[in-house]
Amino acid sequence: MLVRNAKLRNHEGLWQILAEDGLIKKIEPIKETESAYSGEVIDAAGGLVVPPFVEPHVHLDTVLTAGEPKWNISGTLFEGIETWALRKKVLSHEDVLTRAKTALTWQAAQGIQFVRTHVDVDDPELTALKALLELKEAVSDWMDIQIVAFPQESILGYPKGKELIEEAMKLGADAVGGIPHYELTREDGVDSMKIVFDLAEKYDRLIDVHCDEIDDEQSRFVEVIAAEAYKRGIGERVTASHTTAMHSYNGAYAAKLFRVLKMSGINFVSNPLVNTHLQGRFDTYPKRRGVTRVKELLQAGINVCFGHDDIFDPWYPLGTGNMLQVLFMGLHVCQLMGYKEITEALDLITVNSAKALHVSEQYGIEEGKPANFLIMSEPDSYNVIRKLAPVCYSVHKGKVMAETKPAETKIMLNGEKVPVDFN
């Protein structure tokens, strides 16, 4: 495959990308005289080529269940958990497979090629985990999936919770999850994190914890995670998801905390769509935004990325799997609206996410790396975000896996159809 007339981030002019045997063989400035090439040629038409979008945090076992068996009326995290506990009673292998695969096709159609999914393992049968392990293998030709064993109803507060999460490791989950703020006591929360880290080291797995997903300024488990990661020297393999309580920390404590976070080298995932929806529910006015300190974390040189969290389920009643919608919301709510912040923002759903997933070695627009990339309809990252541009082509292992034709808009002026391109 040869991609011609492509734009690249932080590079001037037009470029061409040659892919062979599933790898990027050559990247070079476009030549005025086209050389003969017998393979597939794609004209990027001046569109920006970027690495694939990465979904660093989603729950594929719960997708497409909104309203089943009831709607989350309060809009709180806790009613979502209660509602899912009811839905879980009728969970089946085929049910999870069908819904999750549908969601994956939505994601693939919009440029996502890497997905980290959390799966509820507080189930004696581990129904959802077994289904997603099967699905991971079935879709491996077109989607790279990581599975996090997530103890939705806690490790120590759920019967045999510790045994179930270890069984998930034995079955092949890629990462150990946790939910310390949902344990019965703070002490249990701390103890649960030691269990998570011990399991990760025992089975050589990554760590991704639902951490401090609450408005309570006293919920401070992120310091426990950071300290544990620092002491064990595995920070780059550890991710703290949500950390919404950080939004409410006082300045003095936050300053102390950031020192530990930088020392640890851990990653962060913020989920701006769902966090703004679920948090602040116990406030009158003013209502907190309920999103972690993304701007300050980035300024401190700490790796942060954005995820969906939920797609049309008990915690979030909307969504189609479009990462640009996630990014668009995140830029607003985190006040990342300076020109430079916008032009660099694609990192929050691409390279930063790949780093959190620990897949950077096989990711990026570089010669010798897998030929995985997107061809966008706009020439630069600023307009990709401003116009929520569609992914014209999603190329995976050197082959087109998804294609979208940009919409054509016309208005009637003086009896004539006049095109509108929003430029």
pLDDT at 33: 61
DSSP letter (8 states) at residue 171: H
Is 177 in contact with 151 (CB distance < 8 Å)? yes
Catalytic residue among 55, 213, 228, 378, which? 213
- pTM of the predicted protein model: 0.96
Q: What's the pLDDT tens digit per position in 38-50?
A: 899 999 999 999 9
Cα–Cα distance between 351 and 240 in angstroms, integer?
A: 17
Position 14 pLDDT exceeds 80: yes
186-200 exposure pattern, b = at least 16 Cβ within 10 A, e = fewer: eebbebbbebbbebb
Q: Domain 2-51+365-409: state its class.
A: mainly beta
Cα–Cα distance between 120 and 178 in angstroms, integer?
A: 10
Position 97 pLDDT exceeds 80: yes
pLDDT averaged over every residue in the chain:
97
pLDDT at 37: 85
Cα–Cα distance between 203 and 205 in angstroms, integer?
A: 6
Q: What's the pLDDT tens digit per position in 390-421?
A: 999 999 999 999 999 999 999 999 999 999 99
pLDDT at 38: 85
Strand segments (E) across 127-276:
144-150, 175-176, 206-211, 238-242, 267-270
User: Nearest Cα to 44, choosing from 384, 378, 414?
Assistant: 378
Mean pLDDT of 111-137: 98
Mean pLDDT of 65-69: 97
Q: Where is 85: in which H helix or E strand? A: helix 77-87
pLDDT at 203: 99
213 is catalytic: yes
Position 5 pLDDT exceeds 70: yes
CATH code of the region 53-362: 3.20.20.140
Q: Other CB atoms closer than 10 Å to residue 421's CB: what's the count? A: 8
Q: What's the pLDDT tens digit per position in 216-264?
A: 999 999 999 999 999 999 999 999 999 999 999 999 999 999 999 999 9
Q: What's the pLDDT tens digit per position in 343-371?
A: 999 999 999 999 999 999 999 999 999 99
Position 196 pLDDT exceeds 70: yes
pLDDT at 36: 76
HSE on the CB side for 241, CA within 13 Å? 29
Q: What percent of the chain is modeled with pLDDT above 70?
A: 99
Mean pLDDT of 188-207: 99
**Res. 34 pLDDT band, cuts 50 70 90:** low
Residue whose tokens read 């970027």: 50
Cα–Cα distance between 405 and 423 in angstroms, integer?
A: 18
Q: What's the pLDDT tens digit per position in 128-153?
A: 999 999 999 999 999 999 999 999 99
Q: Alpha-carbon dihedral of residues 405, 407, 408, 411, nearest 10 degrees?
A: 170
CATH 2.30.40.10 maps onto the chain at 2-51+365-409
CATH 3.20.20.140 maps onto the chain at 53-362
